[in-house]
Amino acid sequence: MMDPYKKLVSMLDLRMDQKSSLSISGLPCELGTITATGVKLDSFQHEIQQFYVSEWLAKLYFPSFALQGNVTGLKDSRNGEVAGECTFHFHEAAVNEVRISLKSGLQPGDRVLAVPVFNGQEVIVVSKVVSYA
């Protein structure tokens, strides 16, 4: 006789697998191409002219680093000009609420990852994708 608890666990596992598959298959990401007037999905023959583009607020972390450069326009204690080559040293820092705007960087011909919504009538462009061939 089968242990009823094992049978229950087995049944729950099966149900969770089915629900997971359904929820993942409900997000049909597709590749597309930005055009001069919209976005063209690889799986759809018509261009979609009205589309949305993802935008994020993020926390940006900078490690400590140094940059070589030139300095001009500084004054010394006797009001003399200070100019020349120098090294700028930056400390580790974090900046809150940095807006990442994908839309301003999209150009016709760019490949994008998009999510069709409202039965495919509208599209949300999630990110630009590039090939490393």
Domain coverage including residue 67:
57-99
pLDDT in tens, 75-95: 888 888 888 898 999 999 999
- The β-bridge relationship of strands 122-129 and 52-53 is parallel
Q: How far apart are CA 105 and CA 118, in angstroms?
A: 26
Q: Is 120 a member of any domain?
A: no
Locate 20 and state its tokens.
């997971």
Q: Is 74 a member of any domain?
A: yes
Q: Is 61 a member of any domain?
A: yes
Q: Is 118 a member of any domain?
A: no
Q: Is 88 a member of any domain?
A: yes
Q: How far apart are CA 95 and CA 109, in angstroms?
A: 32
Q: Residue written as tokens 């070589």?
A: 68
Residue 124: name the closest of 77, 27, 54, 46 by CA. Answer: 54
Q: Is 44 a member of any domain?
A: no
Q: Is 46 a member of any domain?
A: no
In the chain, % of residues over pLDDT 70: 80
Q: Write the CA distances from 79 to 71, 75, 84, 86, integer angstroms.
A: 16, 5, 16, 20
Q: How far apart are CA 108 and CA 40, in angstroms?
A: 10
Q: How confident is the model at residue 60 (pLDDT cuts 50, 70, 90)?
A: very high
pTM: 0.61
State the pLDDT at residue 113. 93
- When divided into structural domains, the chain yields a total of 1
**Of 24-38, 45-59, 100-114, where does mean pLDDT reach its minimum?**
24-38
Q: Is 68 a member of any domain?
A: yes
Q: Rg of the chain over CA atoms, in angstroms?
A: 26
State the pLDDT at residue 21. 46
Q: How confident is the model at residue 132 (pLDDT cuts 50, 70, 90)?
A: confident
pLDDT at 24 over 50: no
